[in-house]
Structure 1
Amino acid sequence: MASVLLLLLVIILPLCYCVDAACSDGNCKLDDECSSNGDCEPGFYCFSCPHGYLGSKCVRSSITDQFSLINNSMPFNKYAFLTTHNSFAIDGEPSHTGVRRITITNQEDRVTQQLKNGVRGLMLDTYDFEGDVWLCHSFQGHCYDFTAFEPAINTLKEIAAFLSANPTEIVTLILEDYVKTPKGLTKVFTQAGLMKFWFPVTRMPKKGDWPLVSDMVAKNQRLLVFTSVRYKERSEGIAYQWNYMVENQYGDGGRRAGRCPHRAESSPLNDKSKSLVLVNYFRSAPLKLITCEDNSGGLIDMLQTCRGAAGNRWGNFVAVDYYKRSEGGGSFQAVDTLNGKLLCGCNDVHACVVKNFSPFLSRTQANI
């Protein structure tokens, strides 16, 4: 009898495996095994995360449009936005200085592709360099040939092209700003054709709700820019970031389980006079191969922790490295879930999220 059972297992198990792995030609769904991107449905790609699971499976490559879930008539601070940390520090970006770059990278896609995939917050490090404004991943407030990525106008023109082609979308720029040239940022934003989309500081509330998204779209004020330099709010009309938002500690200090300390420049997270909440979740030294694990369960846990630290407020901006790398839904799932909780207006969060995002939820993450 034992030999008969063994024979049946030998026959049946491969058949079961074939049923599970039978999808292909664009029919594979979230978490299905795959062998190439072409196997996966639109909105997914075939990815391997050795630290999270064996083999390759279809994971998400884009986010759900937060404004199409219900409508765009809520205040801006009632939505959540996927944000890329050091959006410009891209793997494979060719040298623009003629010198081999020796610095850390944090993303894999060009900014245009990030925006197409649903990223709506971009973190950019701006520097004076070679008589212009450059994007650099550098140190001590100075840009060098070996830390420079590209002139800022290149990326800013990508953003201008996206806003022109997508007249209902809003993009937020968060600048780690080392530009000391007077009106240097104003000049490059003007040259890139972005001033026509500018959301003015005079409309930014330092307390209470922001304008409705529908109103921002109607007025074509769809570019929000924040700087880390206080005086530029007065001198150039660029919003000083921590007048309007609170932010948790970046890097390893922001990844400690059960804790969500605020960044030194930010007021405490529970300061509700600041209407926007930024949650960082990335390592001090990015490790691309294990970022897929970071962008999954750990990220979800940190969003829950930071909600408590922020006085029962969910994050509006979720900043990550290598944003597409995940064990399934990843950072896309996290932001979709936040939008469910921010927008649904119901007490049963689980039912609310499942109702609005069931096509995008993985089996494990649906239990958040």
Structure 2
Amino acid sequence: TSDFSPAERRRLTAILQRVNPPHPGLWLCHSVCGAGALELEPTLRQIGEWLRDNPTEIVTLILQDGVDAVTTQDAFVRAGLSDLLYEPDRDPDRPWPKLGDMIDSGRRLVVFAEKADGPAPWYRNLYRYGMETPFAFRSPDEMSCLPNRGGSDKRLFLLNHFVTAGGGLRLDAGVVNSRQRVLERAHNCERQRGSPVNFIAVDYATIGDALGAVNELNAERVEDDPRVPVERTPGRIPGAAEARRRGGAPRRRAVSW
């Protein structure tokens, strides 16, 4: 088993990171790279190892790209991920595939960028396919569900759920990452925006219980979808493989910064 990151150990299935060079080379960090940065290529290799060890899992990366697209794309190729990279349909209005179809294809690594859109067919701009909430909240009370990048009619929905006042704040993460706070905001934004949340972005994912909230939201979605007659196992949320066998609905994914 790879030791790819604390996010893996907490079973987070999507990662929102920023590609920006604090030192020579390519690094992953969020705004304040001095608070912690991971070298890009070794981390990508670990992600690849984890995906190969877990053949029914899907990982989505949303890169806040601070370097040019070709440089980033080359890093994915050097990391040996070419056979895992999923190519979204060029038409963002086409239905997104079921998780089971993606698993069967072996293309289980989805990579979006905030700025770039190609040239590689697997490296697409998130906001052609997805929409989001605002993200520049200075306090927990400022959090809203208003449309931001991507407008209000996209198929994928990113919930930005963190406070940034010059960088991520651990004290605020202790408040907004509570299970109840994440659940309440996700439900509220789904009602206001008329779309299910697919990704929840948090700072300091090991603080609070954002993962517990995501598991609960996933369970709600399975219960709400009559196509997925799931047999319950105590303490376990049905995963992608179970959803595939039952005709499954897409799952939400927690996102760590």
TM bucket, shorter chain: 0.7 to 0.9
Secondary structure at the residue paired with 2:50? helix
**Are the aligned partners of 1:254 and 1:261 in contact in 2 as well (CA < 8 Å)?**
no
Separation (CA, whole Å) in 2 of partners of 1:241 and 1:138: 19
**Are the aligned partners of 2:135 and 2:162 in contact in 1 as well (CA < 8 Å)?**
yes
CA drift at 1:113 = 3.0
Secondary structure at the residue paired with 1:325? coil
**Residue of structure 2 in register with 1:154 after alignment:** 42
**Residue of structure 1 in register with 2:206 after alignment:** 324
2:4 corresponds to 1:117: no
CA drift at 1:252 = 1.4
**Residue of structure 1 in register with 2:190 after alignment:** 307
Separation (CA, whole Å) in 1 of partners of 2:20 and 2:102: 29
Separation (CA, whole Å) in 2 of partners of 1:173 and 1:198: 11
CA drift at 1:305 = 1.6
Give the one of 244, 247, 258 matched to 2:129.
244
Secondary structure at the residue paired with 1:216? helix
**Change beyond 3 A, Cα 1:283–1:206:** same
Separation (CA, whole Å) in 1 of partners of 2:114 and 2:172: 30
CA drift at 1:333 = 2.4
**Change beyond 3 A, Cα 1:136–1:304:** closer
Secondary structure at the residue paired with 1:172? strand
2:52 corresponds to 1:168: no
Separation (CA, whole Å) in 2 of partners of 1:253 and 1:262: 18
Separation (CA, whole Å) in 2 of partners of 1:176 and 1:345: 33
CA drift at 1:243 = 0.5
Q: TM-score, normalized by length of structure 1?
A: 0.55
Alignment map for 1:1-368 (pairs within 5 Å)? 111-128=4-21, 132-138=25-31, 149-180=37-68, 183-201=70-88, 203=89, 206-230=92-116, 232-233=117-118, 235-237=119-121, 238-252=123-137, 255-256=140-141, 259-263=144-148, 265-268=149-152, 271=153, 274-285=154-165, 286-289=168-171, 291-296=173-178, 297-311=180-194, 313-326=195-208, 330-345=209-224, 359=235
CA RMSD after TM alignment: 3.1
AA in 2 matched with 1:192? A
**Are the aligned partners of 2:140 and 2:172 in contact in 1 as well (CA < 8 Å)?**
no
**Are the aligned partners of 2:145 and 2:189 in contact in 1 as well (CA < 8 Å)?**
yes
**Change beyond 3 A, Cα 1:331–1:125:** same
Identity level (%): 27
Separation (CA, whole Å) in 2 of partners of 1:253 and 1:261: 15
Secondary structure at the residue paired with 1:157? helix
Larger radius of gyration: 1
**Are the aligned partners of 2:162 and 2:202 in contact in 1 as well (CA < 8 Å)?**
yes
**Residue of structure 2 in register with 1:54 after alignment:** none
Per-residue Cα deviation, 1:144-167 (whole angstroms, up to 9, x for no partner): xx5782421121111111011111
**Are the aligned partners of 1:125 and 1:175 in contact in 2 as well (CA < 8 Å)?**
yes
AA in 1 matched with 2:120? E
Separation (CA, whole Å) in 2 of partners of 1:150 and 1:291: 21
Separation (CA, whole Å) in 2 of partners of 1:209 and 1:126: 29
Separation (CA, whole Å) in 1 of partners of 2:193 and 2:19: 29
Per-residue Cα deviation, 1:53-112 (whole angstroms, up to 9, x for no partner): xxxxxxxxxxxxxxxxxxxxxxxxxxxxxxxxxxxxxxxxxxxxxxxxxxxxxxxxx753
User: What are structure 1's unaligned runs of at least 5 residues?
Assistant: 1-109, 362-368
**Change beyond 3 A, Cα 1:356–1:277:** farther
Relative CO higher for 1 or 2, CA cutoff 8 Å, sep ≥ 6? 2
Secondary structure at the residue paired with 1:198? coil
Give the aligned length: 229
